[in-house]
Amino acid sequence: MAYQTLLDERRDGIAYVTINRPEKLNALNDQVMADLQTCFEDIQQDAAVRAVILTGSGEKAFVAGADIGVLAVQTPVEGKERSIRGQRVLDLIENLGKPVIAAVNGYALGGGCELAMACTIRIASENAKLGQPEVKLGIVPGYAGTQRLPRLVGKGRTMELVLSAEPISAAEAWRIGLVNQVVPAKDLIGACEALARKIMANGPLAVRFAMEAVNRGMEMTEEQGQFLEATLFGLCCTTADMKEGTRAFLEKRPPKFTGQ
Q: What is the DSSP string of 48-79?
A: T--EEEEEESSSSEEE--B-HHHHTT--HHHH
With contact defined as beta carbons under 8 Å apart, do 182 and 170 qualify? Answer: yes
What's the confidence (pLDDT) of residue 75? 87
What are the φ/ψ torsions at residue 11 (nearest 5 degrees)? Answer: -155, 145
Beta bridge partners of 15: 10, 52
What's the confidence (pLDDT) of residue 110? 97
Q: What single-letter amino acid sits at 152?
A: L
Q: Is the pTM of this model over 0.85?
A: yes
The DSSP bridge pattern shows strands 121-125 and 181-183 to be parallel
What's the confidence (pLDDT) of residue 259? 87
Angle at alpha carbon of residue 177, lines to 172 and 179, rounded to 5°:
75
What's the confidence (pLDDT) of residue 67? 75
For the question of residue 114 being annotated catalytic, the response is yes
What's the confidence (pLDDT) of residue 186? 97
Spot the catalytic one: 41, 59, 126, 134: 134
What's the confidence (pLDDT) of residue 76? 87
What's the confidence (pLDDT) of residue 143? 96
Mean pLDDT per 10-residue interval, the chain, length 260 residues: 94 98 94 97 97 96 85 84 95 98 98 98 98 95 97 98 98 98 98 98 96 95 96 94 93 91
- Taken in order of first residue, the domains within the chain and their CATH numbers are 6-200 (3.90.226.10), 204-250 (1.10.12)
What's the confidence (pLDDT) of residue 44? 97
For the question of residue 78 being annotated catalytic, the response is no
Spot the catalytic one: 59, 94, 114, 193: 114
What are the φ/ψ torsions at residue 115 (nearest 5 degrees)? Answer: -65, -45
**Nearest to 15, CA basis, from 49, 38, 40, 56:** 49
